[in-house]
Chains A and B, each alone.
Chain A
Amino acid sequence: MPASDLAVEERPSTSLTKPVVNDFSIQVATVNGSGSQTANLVLLRSIFQMGVPVSGKNLFPSNIAGLPTWFTIRANKDGYIARKKEIDVLVAMNAETAREDVLGLRAGAVVVYDEPLKLDTVRDDLIFYPVPFDTLVGEVSRDVKLRRRVRNMIYDGVLAKLFGVEIDEMEKALRKQFGTKPKVVEINREALDVGYAFADAKLEKRDHFRVEPMEGNQGRILIDGNAASAVGCLMAGVTVVAWYPITPSSSLCETLISYLRRYRVDKKTGKATFAVVQAEDEIAALGMAIGGGWAGARSMTATSGPGISLMGEFAGLAYYSEVPCVVFDVQRVGPSTGLPTRTAQGDVLSTAFLSHGDSRHPLLFPCSPEECFEMAISAFDLAERFQTPVFVLSDLDLGMNTWMANEFEYPDKPMDRGKVLDEDTLERIGRFGRYRDVDGDGITYRSIPGTSMPAYFCRGSGHNEWGQYSERSDDYKKNVDRLTRKFETARNWMPAPIVEINRKARIGIVAYGTTHWAVVESRDQLVAEADLQTSYYRLRAYPFRSALASFIERHDRVYVIEQNRDAQMSTLMRIELRAELAGRLRSVLHYSGEPIDARSITDDVLIQEGYRVEYSAFSGAVPQDAGVGGE
C-alpha cells in the first residue's frame, strides 16, 4: 500500500527458521466495482471459521467503480484486531497502484500478483508469487461477464494453498454469502479450485506465514457496526425512522429497514409496527424524528458529519423544548465533504454542543458491534428518560468494516419510557406544568398528544414552567438552570466507563470508540518494549462521570488518544476538569483517515515519555488522491 507506510519493523515475523502461525496481515489491492468484496469476505470468513481472531478493513474511494481499493485482513492469535500498520502479504491486482503498493512493503514481505504486472522487477527483497489470472479464469468459464466476476476468487484459492486456509471453510463461507444461489456457489468454488491447483502445481512456498485452526471464536459472529446498531434499534422498539443517505451511515438504515420488514410486520395482516421515511435532507430527517418523539414514538435518524452540521438548528430545538429522539452519527473525515470514505472521530465537539445558545447533548461512544447493539438500546431509553436528543457516535471503521463480536444478548431490562404524564401522576402533582420540576431531578413530566392528558404548547422560544411563552429573565434562567440540573442527573445514567487501574502505573490512558482496539495492543507494546505500565479509562459516554477526574488524579500524566486533529475529547474534558488535572493531559492524535494502529500510539507515547527521539515511521498517511466524485 501507501509508500509512506514504509518499513515499520514490528517484530521479525519472517524469520527464516520459525513458521509464523496465525499472526499476519493480508492486503488485497484491487479496483472498486470489480467484485473483489466477495472474495475478500470469503477469505476473512474462512479464517474466522477456523477459529482465528480476524478483522477486515476496507479502504475504499468515494466512487462507484474504477478507483483503487485496499482490503486488509488481519489474523492474530492473541486477539489484536486493530489495523496493523505493516502489511505482510500483498495481493496486487490493480495495475495502477501495484508499483507503489510494492514499494511500500517492508523487506521480506510476500507479494501475490497478477503475472503481467511483472512486479518482481521492482524490488529484490520480497517474496514474489506470480499468478496468471487471465489464463486461469479461462479454465473456469468462457463467459466474459462470469469471468470478470470470479476472477478475484482465484486469489482466494491461491492463498488457501499458500497459507493453509481450508478450502472447505472457503466453500462454507461462499454458501453463507450466496446461500440461495447454488449455481453461483458452484462456479465460485471452481474458481477457488483452479487457484488452489495452480498454487499447488506451480508455486513453491518460500514464506513462513501459516493459518492453523484454533479455538478462538466460539460464540462469536462477524458483523459490521452499522448492522449491529440496526439490530439494536430493532430490539429497542424503534417506531419512526427518518433518514437521508450518506456514507458511512446509509447501511445502518438500510439494514434496519430490512430487519423491520422481516420482523416487525404482522404476519396475518401485513401491517407494520414502524414507519420509515427517506427524507428530503437531514434537516427534515431530524425534524421528523422530533415530531415523532414529541408525539410519543421511539424515533431516530442516522447520518454523518455533513448531516450533523445541517441538523444544528433542530438539535437545539429538541434540547430546549425537551423532545426525545436518537441520532446516530457514523463519523467520517471532515471538515466539509472531507474524505467521505475514511474514518475519524472528528464530530465530538460539534455534536456535544450542536446548535446555538447553550445547547448540550448526551453522547454515546460504542467501540464494538456489541456496544453498537447495546448502546442503540440504551440511547432510546436515555432519550426518553431525559427527554432530549441522544447522539450515538460511531465511526466509519466501526460502522462499515467487518468485526468479530460476541453474540448479542437479549435486553434484560424493559424499555424505559421516562416520565410520561398519566392519570395517577396528574393526581399526585396537581396541576400539570410541562417544564415544572416536581421531582427535583431536573426531569419534568410530558404529556403525549392524542392521549387526552392536558396539552401544552411545545416551542423553541422562551417558556416558563407551565409551558407558556415567556421572555422574562427569571423564567429563562430558571428553566436553563433546570436543564443543567437534568444534565447533571444524566451523568450517572450514562454507560459507565471501563476502567483498568494498574497500581504500578504512573501513566494513564483515556480513549473511546474504535481507538480502543489499538490502545489494547499498544499497552502491551509499551510494556514489552519499554516496561511502561499504564492504566486505562475507556470513556463510553458524555456527560462524564466523576470517576474521570479521580482517574486523572491517580496518574502523573494521562494520554488522551483519539482520531482527530484538534484533541476534541481532551478539550471536552478540560472544560470540566480543575486546571491542575487538565494540566496532566497529553494527546496522541491520529487523523490520516485510516483507522488508528497500535504502532503509532506506542511510538508517540514513547517519544513524549522520553524513551525515544523519533517515530518508527510517519503516522500513517494516505498520500494518493484516491477518490473524487459522489459521496
Chain B
Amino acid sequence: MPTATPSPKKKKVNRIGLELPIYRGSKTTLCAGCGHNAISERVVDACFTMGIQPDRVVKLSGIGCSSKSPAYFLGSAHGFNAVHGRMPSVGTGAMLANKDLVAIGVSGDGDTGAIGIGQFVHLMRRNLPMVYIIEDNGCYGLTKGQFSPTADVGSTLKTGVVNDLAPIDTCALAIELGATFVARSFSGDKKQLTALLKAALSHRGIAMLDVLSPCVTFNDHEGSTKSYSYAKSHEEPIEEIDFVPYFEDITVEYEPGTTREVTLHDGSRLFLKKLDEGYNATDRAQAMRVLRETRARGEFATGLVFVDPVAEDFVTSLNLVDEPLASLSEGRVRPSRSVLDDIMGGLR
C-alpha cells in the first residue's frame, strides 16, 4: 500500500494519511474538455476525502472513451479494462473472489445501453456491491460520434442526422430492476457529483450513477441534447444533497420537515433537502414519477433519484466465509481424504 511520505511543507493528507496525488492516475489521453475527465477528477476527490484505501479498490470498465478513464484515476489501484459492454460480469467475478474489494466501474452510454444492456440489467438486478458510473454523452465517442441508445428523440448528429428512436432511461431501468442506489448528475456539477460519489462509496449494493458527460468533439453542438449548454440550461436538481461521512460530525442544522435524512450502510448520512414538494427518494414509485415528469418537460432531473439503504447485496446473500475466497488456504478449499472416500462409497 502506498504510504504518505513526510514532506517538509506538511502537505494535506486524508484520514488514512495519504496525499491527494496518490489518488490520481496517469495523464488523460481524452480530448481536452471531455466531460469524462471532469468525472475522473470527482472520483479522485471522493476517494481522497472518503479515505478509501487505493489497494482495496478495483477499477473496472468496458470499451470506449469513457472506459479508458479508470486509467486516469487511482493509479495505485488494480484496474481491468475488459470487453465492450461486458464489464459487469468481470466485476461480479472479482467481487465474489474478494468481497472486501471496493469496485468502481466506469462505462459509457453505448457500452451500457447498447452492447452491454444485458449485463447491465443483471448487474442491477443482482445488487452487486459496486459503484457503476455511466459517462453519458448520447453518442459513441471512440468510434467517432454515432448515436447511442441514450440519445434523445430529435437530437442531431454533427452531420445533421436526426435521431428518431426513443432513448433508454438507464435510471428508470435501474430502479425498475431493483437497483438500490440510483442517481443522475452532470459532469459540470462539481458539488453534486462529488456528494453523490461519496454517498455511492458508502452504499453496500449497486450504486448506479448516470452522469451526463458531454463529448466536446462529436456531440456538443446546437441540436444535441447532451451538450454543455443544453445540460446547463435543462438540469433540474430534485434535491440539495449534503453528505456527512461516518467519520465526521454534523455541523449544519436542518429545518425540520424540509430535509430527509438517509443513513447509508457504512454509517454515513445523507441530508436531502427537498426541492420537489413531497418527494421521497426511498420510494420507487415516486422516483419513477419524477423521472417521467421531468423528461416530459424536456429537463433532466439530477440528484439521488432512489436509494434503499437496507436491502441485502448479492455477495452478502451468498453467506461466504469471512476471509476473501481468493485468499483461502488449500486446507480450506480442498476437502479431506475422508470426503473423497465418502463420495466414492456412494458410487460403489
Interface positions of A (Cβ within 8 A of B) = 220-223, 231, 234-240, 242, 259, 263-264, 266, 269-275, 277, 279-281, 283-299, 313-314, 317, 321, 407-408, 410-411, 414-415, 447-452, 454-461, 469
Contact = CB atoms under 8 A, between A and B. Distances in A.
A317 B82 contact: yes
A240 B122 contact: no
B250 interface: no
B320 interface: yes
B340 A287 contact: no
A291 B90 contact: yes
B335 A239 contact: no
Contacts of A287: 82-83, 86, 88-90, 92-93, 119
Contacts of A451: 55, 327
**Pairs of residues from A and B, 9 with the lowest C-beta to C-beta distance, nearest first:** A291-B93, A287-B89, A296-B326, A237-B333, A297-B97, A295-B97, A292-B93, A221-B347, A291-B90
Contact of B326 (A220, A239, A266, A281): A239
A273 B89 contact: no
Contacts of B324: 296, 450
A283 B89 contact: yes
Contacts of A292: 93-94, 96-97, 326
A291 B325 contact: no
A295 B58 contact: yes
B332 A273 contact: yes
Contacts of B100: 450
B76 interface: yes
B46 interface: no
Interface string B46-84: 000000001110101000000000110001111111110
A281 B118 CA distance: 9
B10 interface: no
B81 A295 contact: no
B344 interface: yes
25 contacts: A221-B344, A235-B335, A237-B334, A239-B326, A242-B89, A263-B335, A272-B320, A275-B315, A279-B89, A280-B121, A281-B118, A287-B86, A287-B89, A287-B93, A290-B89, A291-B80, A291-B90, A291-B93, A294-B93, A295-B95, A295-B101, A295-B326, A296-B98, A297-B325, A451-B55
B325 A240 contact: yes
B1 interface: yes
Contacts of B95: 291, 295
A459 B340 contact: no
A221 B96 contact: no
Contacts of A410: 337, 340
A240 B343 contact: no
A385 to B, nearest CB: 15
B326 A460 contact: no
Interface in B303-348: 315, 318-322, 324-328, 330, 332-335, 337, 339-340, 343-344, 347-348
B119 A277 contact: no
B123 to A, nearest CB: 9
Contact of B344 (A234, A275, A314, A407): A407
B91 interface: yes
A468 to B, nearest CB: 8
A269 B326 CA distance: 19
A279 B126 CA distance: 10
Nearest to B324: A450
Contacts of A298: 333
Nearest to B314: A277
A264 B93 CA distance: 19
Interface residues of B, number: 58
B93 A263 contact: no
Given A240-B93, A296-B326, A458-B80, A266 B321 contact: yes
A452 B1 contact: yes
Nearest to B70: A457
Contacts of A280: 118-119, 121-122
Contacts of A239: 96-97, 325-326, 328, 333
Contacts of A288: 89-90, 92-93, 96
Given A239-B326, A263-B335, A280-B118, 7 more contacts: A270-B319, A271-B320, A288-B92, A317-B83, A410-B340, A450-B100, A455-B54
Contacts of B98: 295-297, 449-450
Contacts of A285: 89
Contacts of A286: 89
Nearest to B81: A459
Interface centre among A410, A411, A460 (most CB of B within 10 A): A410
Contact of A293 (B54, B93, B330, B334): B93
A272 B317 CA distance: 11
Nearest to B87: A287
Contact of B321 (A273, A297, A408): A273
Contact of B330 (A408, A414, A447, A458): A414
B339 A271 contact: no
A411 B315 CA distance: 31
B125 to A, nearest CB: 9
B119 A415 contact: no
B97 A299 contact: yes
Nearest to A415: B330
Contact of A234 (B1, B77, B88, B335): B335
B339 to A, nearest CB: 5
A271 B319 contact: yes
B96 A457 contact: no
B321 A291 contact: no
Nearest to A417: B330
Given A273-B328, A457-B71, A459-B80, A283 B96 contact: no
Contacts of A277: 92, 96
Contacts of B70: 457
Nearest to A325: B93
B56 to A, nearest CB: 6
Nearest to A447: B78
B58 A449 contact: yes
A314 B79 CA distance: 17
Interface centre among A223, A280, A289, A295 (most CB of B within 10 A): A295
Nearest to B119: A284
B93 A469 contact: no
A291 B91 contact: yes
Contacts of A274: 325, 333
Contacts of B82: 287, 290, 317, 460
A458 B90 CA distance: 12
Contacts of A275: 96, 315, 318, 320, 325
A273 B327 CA distance: 10
A458 B1 contact: no
Nearest to A449: B78
A451 B340 CA distance: 32
Contacts of A296: 97-98, 324, 326-327
Contact of A290 (B78, B90, B121): B90
A299 B93 CA distance: 8
Contacts of B60: 291
B342 to A, nearest CB: 8
Contacts of B54: 455
Nearest to B326: A296
Contacts of B79: 455-459
A291 B61 CA distance: 12
B334 A415 contact: yes
A277 B335 CA distance: 21
B81 A458 contact: yes
Contact of A242 (B93, B319, B344, B347): B93
Interface string B192-217: 00000000000000000000000000
B90 A273 contact: no
Interface in B108-136: 118-119, 121-122
B319 to A, nearest CB: 5
Contacts of A235: 334-335, 340
Given A263-B335, A272-B319, A449-B98, A295 B77 contact: no
A493 B18 CA distance: 45
B26 to A, nearest CB: 8
